[in-house]
Structure 1
Amino acid sequence: MNPNTLDWALWRSFLVILREGSLAGAARALELTHPTVRRHLDELETQLGTTLFVRSPSGLIATELALSLRDAAQSMESAAALLVRTASGDAGHIAGTVRISASEIVGAELLPPILCTLKEKNPGLSFELNLSNRIEDVLRNDADIAVRMIRPTQDGLLARKVGQIPIGLYAHQSWIVRYEEPITLTELITSGHLIGYDKNPAIMNALRESGQQVTVADFGFRSDSDLAQLAALRAGLGVGFCQRIIAARDPQLRPILPDLTYNLEVWLVTHPMLRSQRRVRVTLDGLASGLRFTTQT
């Protein structure tokens, strides 16, 4: 295959077929006709001189070669998306699309008001928000900016610390009415009312640093979704960790064992090659200003 004649449309169809497992599913996802997707696959297989998928009663099964090509095709997809975002901005204006990656809580609870302010000041900006904790989003160009609660260790990234967010234990007023408020952390853990993760060890590790021996079985409600934990807390299902800035918005959330506090660092991460782009630079500065104010509130 000659790289000078490489057709991204063929590879895009290949990647979506790989994800969907059928020509029909890929056609729907790409908003193309079934014959068009079929033609793309046939043409790509002809260029490669081999078969990429084997038909089965349950759909298309990717060959070993197809699976080995997935990462490279995904990199092409990310590069194409970055090209579109970059080209969408006019050189003389602050405009274009900025893709931001953030954790569930930060993305759902903290960023929307900050992005609203950015949009008011820069109407030409558009935002795509991906809820993810992976630093690889920036390395692979899946995101222009990542908001992270830990300093990235990967080489080739620009990182700026913008503050710290204090986290404490909270319970809904309805839970406090139904149950006796615990006096010690040990009492809370043994009560079976603690909200925590299922497979993510973050809370257990933090509690163990406080000298507590905690297992998954000690959590009365378990979910690896931060938003599900927050919803459970607001519903009065138990006692859980919450960012103090978020808890302060809800008068029904009351602190439990207020002396127990953890601080999460807040970092903004981007790729060096994006720093000179005005849409990214303005968004970085807006996020830094908004998050710095949030962490100081």
Structure 2
Amino acid sequence: MDWNDLRYFLAVARTGSLSAATRELGTSQATIGRRVQALETALGAVLFERLNTGYVLTSAGREIQARAEAAEAAVLAVARGVDRELGQVQGSVRLATGEALASHLIAPRASLFRATYPALRLEFVTGFRAVSLSRHEADLALRLIRPDQGDYIRRKVGVVGFGLYASSASVDAHPALRCDPWSVDFIGWDASMRDVPMTGWIKGQALDRIVATATSMNVQLALARASLGAAILPCFVADSVPDLVRLAGPSDVGILDLWVVAHRDLSRVPRVRAVLDFVGGLCEQESARLRGV
């Protein structure tokens, strides 16, 4: 049996479709389908019901998933143990975080990190898609939501303050916005991003005045600068944009705790520990800017 067949099987089992597994693994649907079929042939069992709505595990499939995940965990544990024994700060570290934190907090200091650890490569995984640390989709994460489950270390490294921002042109055209900022038209999050905390903040104030939505904070910022409406943005990003005006600050909009998270075993690996310390120290140094004070 080929371990890679199990890896493809697990991707389909976890996502429920070939198309979603394709996005996770970065390969074609035909390849994934062929590998899953090869595994079924090797085992002599049907592992999935192929439905119009997706792939559903059979009873045999559920049993194989449990065994495959145990094998996967063992393989990852071996890799972590080798890294720990070597004690070398080299290789690559995958850091999962949001685009704002990656672009406006970490990237400006990345050259200093590189100078300290020239043999270590940072790999950024950005966006709001849930990234599994236990499945090694990333080595650590800097995120605004504290995970409640899993064998992780969780370190609160600060808070991020959010404000309501509109273009200076919009405020000049409607001076009353300075006195009644929540009367503005809003740019919100797409319905698919309902788990993003800021989505609820907008809905609580906007009524029917959401004029555009986006799945990206950068797009919302661009729309606000274009005077389409106001957007709730992290203060450490928007305060540095000269043609945006803060209509309301964190005390009126909201703050979120900022967490750095890593699998407990992996957090002891020197290369991951180096990034953990770098990110934690950076958040401490930038605490006032992140808070939006």
TM range (shorter): 0.7 to 0.9
2:220 pairs with 1:229: yes
The Cα shift of 1:205 comes to 4.2
| Deviation of the 1:282 alpha carbon | 0.6
Matched, 1:91 2:86: yes
Partner of 1:104: 99
SS of match in other structure, 2:136 = coil
| AA in 2 matched with 1:237 | L
Q: 2:142 is matched with which residue: 142, 147, 170?
A: 147
Write out aligned runs for 1:196-215 (5 A): 196-199=188-191, 200=194, 202-203=197-198, 205-206=200-201, 214=205
Asked if structure 1 preserves the Cα contact closer than 8 Å seen for 2:201 and 2:253, the reply is no
Q: Secondary structure at the match of 1:106?
A: helix
CA RMSD of aligned residues (A): 4.2
Q: Deviations over 1:183-209 (max 9, x none)?
A: 344xx4444x1222243273464478x
Instruction: Give the residue type in structure 1 aligned to 2:93.
Output: V
Match of 1:29?
A: 27
Structure 1 match to 2:121:
126
Q: Letter of the aligned partner of 2:147 in structure 1?
A: P
Report how far residue 155 of structure 1 moved.
5.0
Aligned partner of 1:249 in structure 2 is 240
Residue 194 of structure 1 pairs with residue 194 of structure 2: no
1:50 is paired with a residue whose SS is: coil
Q: Distance in 2 between matches of 1:73 and 1:120?
A: 40
- Structure 1 counterpart of 2:275, which letter? T
Percent same amino acid among aligned pairs?
Answer: 26
Instruction: State the match for 1:239 in structure 2.
Output: 230
After TM superposition, give the deviation of residue 97 of structure 1 in Å.
1.5
Residue 47 of structure 1 corresponds to: 42
Q: Does 1:159 align with 2:150?
A: no
**1:295 match:** 287
Paired residues of 1:88 and 1:97 also in contact (CA < 8 A)? no
Q: Secondary structure at the match of 1:214?
A: helix
Structure 1 window deviating more from structure 2 (239-248 vs 256-265): it is: 256-265
CA deviation vs aligned residue, 1:83-111 (integer Å, no higher than 9, x gap): 66876799253112211111232233322
Q: Superposed, which structure 2 residues align to 1:175-190 within 5 Å? A: 175-185=170-180, 188-190=181-183
Deviations 1:104-150 (A, max 9, x none): 32233322223332222111112222224467622443222111223
Q: Distance in 2 between matches of 1:101 and 1:71?
A: 26
CA distance in 1, matches of 2:231, 2:66: 38
TM-score normalised by structure 1 residue count: 0.72
Deviation at 1:16, TM superposition (A): 6.8
Give me the whole-angstrom Cα distance separating, in 1, the residues matched to 2:27 and 2:132.
Answer: 22
Matched, 1:220 2:211: yes
Distance 1:123 1:183 in 2: 49
Q: Distance in 2 between matches of 1:281 and 1:138?
A: 15
Contact 2:94 2:122 in 1 (8 A): yes
Secondary structure, counterpart of 1:138 in structure 2: coil
Instruction: Give, in angstroms, the shift of residue 278 of structure 1.
Output: 0.2
Alignment deviations for residues 231-266 of structure 1 (CA, whole Å, 9 cap, x no partner) = 322333221122222123221122214573532221
Q: How far apart are the structure 2 equivalents of 1:50 and 1:287? A: 47
Q: Output the amino acid matched with 2:188.
A: G
Aligned equivalents of 2:39, 2:134: Cα separation in 1: 28
Gaps (5+ residues) in structure 2? none
Residue 3 of structure 1: aligned partner: none
CA distance in structure 1 between the partners assigned to 2:73 and 2:115 by the alignment: 28
Q: Which amino acid aligns with 1:266?
A: L
- Following superposition, the deviation at residue 277 of structure 1 comes to 0.5
The answer to whether the 8 Å contact 1:189/1:218 transfers is: no
Structure 2 CA distance for aligned equivalents of residues 100 and 77 of structure 1: 20
Aligned partners of 2:265, 2:45: CA distance in 1, in Å? 37
Pairwise CA distance, 1:37:
8.2
Secondary structure at the residue paired with 1:279?
A: helix
Structure-2 change in CA distance of 1:249 and 1:183 (3 Å): closer
Q: Unaligned stretches of 5+ in structure 1?
A: 1-5
Please tell me whether Structure 1 or Structure 2 has the larger radius of gyration of its CA atoms: 1
CA contact (8 A) 2:48 2:57 kept: no
| Distance change >3 Å, CA 164–CA 52, structure 1 → 2 | closer
Q: Distance in 1 between matches of 2:236 and 2:46?
A: 55
